[in-house]
Amino acid sequence: MKWRVNCREATELFSRTQDERLHLADRVAMRMHLAICRNCTRFARQLQDMRRLLRSGGALEDETAGLSADARQRIETELHQKLKP
């Protein structure tokens, strides 16, 4: 069991917490590292900020980007084919 981890290992552990629950030993090792490391604390904070921003996708409702005229025409044609009796 490893209680001391370096920055590279700590970032891996923190990244993993974004996906699953860590084993106790890993959790302790990560927290001990974060407690003393400003860079990794920033890293952790930034991953959380990134996720928050990515999941607040409300802007999609208002944005103007959309299907190109070509694509729209192609899809129209496909739908039309499908709708033919």
Partner 1 sequence: MNSLDAHAWLADHGDYLFRVARRQLHSDELAEDAVQETLLAALAAQSRYAGDASLRTWLTAILKHKIVDLIRRQVRETGLPRDEDDAEAVDLLFQQDGHWAEPLKPWGNPQAEAELGQLRRVLDECADRLKPVMAQVFSLREVAGMETEEICKELGITPTNCWVLLHRARLFMRECLTLNGFGGTSA
Binding site for partner 1 (CB under 8 A): 6-9, 11-12, 15-16, 18-20, 38-40, 42-43, 45-47, 49-51, 53-57, 59-61, 63, 65-68, 71-72, 74-76, 78-79, 82-83
Half-sphere exposure of 77 (CA within 13 A, CB side): 6
**53 token code pair:** 């921003």
Question: Hey, what are 2's tokens?
Answer: 């490893």
- Counting Cα atoms < 13 Å in the Cβ hemisphere of 78 gives 6
Query: What does the block give as tokens for 13?
Result: 């552990």
Q: Measured from the CB atom, is 1 or 60 closer to partner 1? A: 60
Q: Would you say 31 or 42 has its CB closer to partner 1?
A: 42
Nearer to partner 1, 1 or 68 (CB): 68
